[in-house]
Structure 1
Amino acid sequence: MPGPYDVIVVGVGGMGSAACYQLARRGVRVLGLEKFEIGHAMGSSHGLSRILRLAYFQGEAYVPLVQRARELWLETGKITGEPLFYEVGALDIGQEGSGVIEDARAASEKYGLSHELLDRRAIEERFPAFALDTDHIGLYQPQSGFVASERAILAHVTLALYYGAEIHGCEAMLDWKPTAGGGVRVTTDRGVYEAGRLILSPGAWIGDLVPALQASTQVVRQTLGWFSPLRPSLFDMTRFPVFTLEAQEGHFYGFPLWQHPGFKLGSPHFSGEPYDPHLPDRQPSFAQRDLLRACLAKHIPAANGDLLGLKACMYTMTPDEHFIIDTLPGFEQVIVASPCSGHGYKFASAIGEALAELATSGRSRFDLDMFSLRRFA
């Protein structure tokens, strides 16, 4: 029997890879287990990039966590010599009075974040790619941008290995059980391992590993599209930000041109098409493709060119759309770090740090009470 290890991390995606790195750099004997290959496209982290916004309309309590995440993305990029965070600015666009912009502005003011409130005319003058409704307003955040999501996972795994972690790709966990000594025994399709602590960060497969969470989580499909821009210069990184857009067709998000010839647009966050993560393929939703087209035609016509590509990814949703970061009731040696309801990747670097703190000292520098399992009791 290999080991024993101090900590086993199951799921080496956005959160798990960061946890492996943070644990290994602390000298912890860590084993990372990933059922697919490292850097796979079967979960929730592929598609090149993810938005990082500092002014967070989903809740002010997220702001300290995303501020730390930004610091860590910058730090890790410097260590590896390859940038992981690109500060291109972020623009939240919503209907006046809907609460989206108002909540983001309140978070900015509470934490002293640099921001600028813009009306529709000001948005369209500064970013002429947009064609907005008369009641649209926006909040611009110059210190926000995007994270190179696929590259970041590989960077975390590379650093984890450098510091002595053991990472197994293409090895699926079948079961885990507590041991008499207060640790865990993990059985995979290739072996049996023991450790003092277990971190479960399997994303859409959390219900398989923690059946009690099946009633509190739902996996849905999201579709990402890349479209040939009719005026590419409008979407250059030097002049176009990442954005979220609240429109009649849904709540969309998009990026400047980066490492792909197409303009990237994400399908509505609340489209909510249930999806089975056990399916062997990842077929995009053609209904969501049509919504992407409708958004482009109405609000971003300069990007409404030929379709270059579609990808499907998965959101694992909780009823309140907040995360789960907590120890498992009755098993204090097991930490659950999933799901993230479609807005978690930007936090992955800081959540990895928080998981390492929980696994080594039993507490985190962050207030994680909002992510407690108790709220589902």
Structure 2
Amino acid sequence: MNYDVIVIGAGSMGMAAGYFLSKSGKKTLLLDSFTPPHNKGSHHGDTRIIRYAYAEGEEYVPFILRAKELWTELEQEIGKQLFIQTGVLSSGNQKSDFIQNIINSSRNYSLPLTLMEANDIRKKWPGITLPNEYVGCFEPTSGVLKSEEIIKAYQVLAESNGATIQTNSRVREIKINGDNITIKTDTQTFYSDSLVVSAGAWSGDILSMLELKLPLKPIRKTFAWFNADEEIYNHHRFPAFAFATSRGLYYGFPSIDGAGIKVGRHDGGKDIHPDKQIAEFGELVEDKRELEEFLHTFMPKINQLKYGKTCMYTLTPDDKFIIDLHPKYSNVAIASGFSGHGFKFSSAVGQALSRLIDSGKNDVDISHFKINRF
């Protein structure tokens, strides 16, 4: 079967790319080894934080503001709420790069931000306990994205645009001969003019078929939900949060529709290969312990674990994304290495991939994410 473009990996970035490619009129096929949304990537677990005054560096700000516009457009097109404006509280030592990057991003891009002392935070949100040397940066316009609902929304719209989504179809071979691309799965062979690789933790394996080795490292990560006092921690009163502590960088969500507080640790994690058995949440002693230690220190009113899950990050050495054309094949676009902070950008990544395939250019600067930095 022949297509204008094939997308390998129909998760966060791939499904968005499939939507934008099909919307532009391209005959599009999406291949996924599983059935999205699924728990083999980085989009499951219901929710992801979106914030604009970006702690990871202000070079991300124009890109996240484009993503914000596209999330609003997606909500309007699908007719569902996909964003919850809870606000986001980021907290840590005022001198830390984490806090200073947020302040600088806010100042340089005129983003709404309230800088708060520890005592002000404790008064506003009684569920939080902070050391006096901590400050908080509260972004009132930020909040929570419904990640799995977003995958479903992009799938519905891509299919309505004529895209084909082939699930449970693992790619075994890729051959490129000029403008002709041949892709083989276990049971079928497909042909296309262009290719998008957005295979998450499997990107390294796929790219090796394209004579490209990038420094991508999949790791195991965990997150969990805890029972919480709904009067204090419900999403109408309590923000999403990110805390840079002496023990690590933690993030979390208010209790949405009674689900409980959701907490995870962003840094750390165990190296894995995605094809090998990954320990379930709780099989490693630190899974529960490191989350409970964070809560005991910063939110001591929360102490009863409900359940936890695992996911996979795919890290680059500098924790920055890879969004670029293949250095040898100009008809192959690559999106990988989102290092645990990519989902909020996935609408803009999908559009960027579509434009890379269409013209090789973007109107939003993605030069920070080029392959040649390695």
Q: Fold conserved (TM > 0.5)?
A: yes
Report the more deviating stretch, 251-260 or 32-41: 251-260
Question: Shift of residue 83 of structure 1?
Answer: 0.9
Tell me how far apart the structure 2 counterparts of residues 190 and 74 of structure 1 sit (CA, whole Å).
39
Flag the 1:361–1:13 CA change in 2: closer, same or farther, 3 A.
same
SS in 2 for 1:16: helix
Question: Shift of residue 87 of structure 1?
Answer: 1.1
Tell me, yes or no, if the aligned pair for 2:12 and 2:343 is still in contact at 8 Å: yes
Tell me how far apart the structure 1 counterparts of residues 214 and 24 of structure 2 sit (CA, whole Å).
36
CA deviations on 1:216-242 (whole Å, 9 max, x unpaired) are 11111110111111x221111111111
Residue in 2 aligned with 1:133?
131
Flag the 1:215–1:199 CA change in 2: closer, same or farther, 3 A.
closer
**1:40 maps onto 2:19 in alignment:** no
Tell me how far apart the structure 1 counterparts of residues 258 and 152 of structure 2 sit (CA, whole Å).
19
**1:202 maps onto 2:199 in alignment:** yes
SS in 1 for 2:145: strand
Tell me, yes or no, if the aligned pair for 1:326 and 1:373 is still in contact at 8 Å: yes
Tell me how far apart the structure 1 counterparts of residues 214 and 69 of structure 2 sit (CA, whole Å).
35
Equivalent position to 1:170, from 168, 171, 194 = 168
Tell me how far apart the structure 2 counterparts of residues 199 and 255 of structure 1 sit (CA, whole Å).
32
Query: Structure 1 runs of 4+ off > 6 angstroms?
Result: none
* Structure 1 residues 40-189: aligned runs within 5 Å: 40-180=38-178, 182-189=179-186
CA deviations on 1:233-274 (whole Å, 9 max, x unpaired) are 11111111111011122110000111452210012x221311
SS in 2 for 1:97: coil
SS in 2 for 1:216: coil
Equivalent position to 1:277, from 259, 267, 274 = 274
Tell me how far apart the structure 2 counterparts of residues 183 and 85 of structure 1 sit (CA, whole Å).
40
Residue in 1 aligned with 2:349?
351
Residue in 2 aligned with 1:223?
222
Residue in 2 aligned with 1:374?
372
Equivalent position to 2:237, from 239, 246, 267 = 239
Tell me how far apart the structure 2 counterparts of residues 146 and 213 of structure 1 sit (CA, whole Å).
35
Tell me, yes or no, if the aligned pair for 1:245 and 1:252 is still in contact at 8 Å: yes
What letter is aligned with 1:143? T
Tell me, yes or no, if the aligned pair for 2:254 and 2:260 is still in contact at 8 Å: no
Residue in 2 aligned with 1:286?
285
Question: Shift of residue 286 of structure 1?
Answer: 3.3
CA deviations on 1:322-377 (whole Å, 9 max, x unpaired) are 0000111111111110120110000001110111111111111111111111011x
Flag the 1:293–1:213 CA change in 2: closer, same or farther, 3 A.
farther
Tell me how far apart the structure 2 counterparts of residues 213 and 204 of structure 1 sit (CA, whole Å).
15
Residue in 1 aligned with 2:7?
9
Tell me how far apart the structure 1 counterparts of residues 14 and 187 of structure 2 sit (CA, whole Å).
20
Tell me, yes or no, if the aligned pair for 1:42 and 1:282 is still in contact at 8 Å: no
CA deviations on 1:14-63 (whole Å, 9 max, x unpaired) are 00000000111111110000100121111111000000001001111111
Residue in 2 aligned with 1:300?
299
Tell me how far apart the structure 2 counterparts of residues 278 and 286 of structure 1 sit (CA, whole Å).
23
Tell me how far apart the structure 1 counterparts of residues 138 and 361 of structure 2 sit (CA, whole Å).
35
TM-score (norm 2): 0.96
Tell me, yes or no, if the aligned pair for 2:63 and 2:365 is still in contact at 8 Å: no
Tell me, yes or no, if the aligned pair for 1:249 and 1:294 is still in contact at 8 Å: no
Tell me how far apart the structure 2 counterparts of residues 213 and 50 of structure 1 sit (CA, whole Å).
30
* Structure 1 residues 324-343: aligned runs within 5 Å: 324-343=322-341
Flag the 1:52–1:120 CA change in 2: closer, same or farther, 3 A.
same
How many residues were matched structurally? Answer: 370
Identity within the alignment, %? 36
* Contiguous gaps of at least 5 residues in structure 1: none
**1:313 maps onto 2:318 in alignment:** no
Question: Shift of residue 214 of structure 1?
Answer: 5.2
Residue in 1 aligned with 2:359?
361
Flag the 1:11–1:259 CA change in 2: closer, same or farther, 3 A.
farther
Tell me, yes or no, if the aligned pair for 1:324 and 1:336 is still in contact at 8 Å: yes
Tell me, yes or no, if the aligned pair for 1:184 and 1:333 is still in contact at 8 Å: no
RMSD over equivalenced CA pairs, Å: 1.3
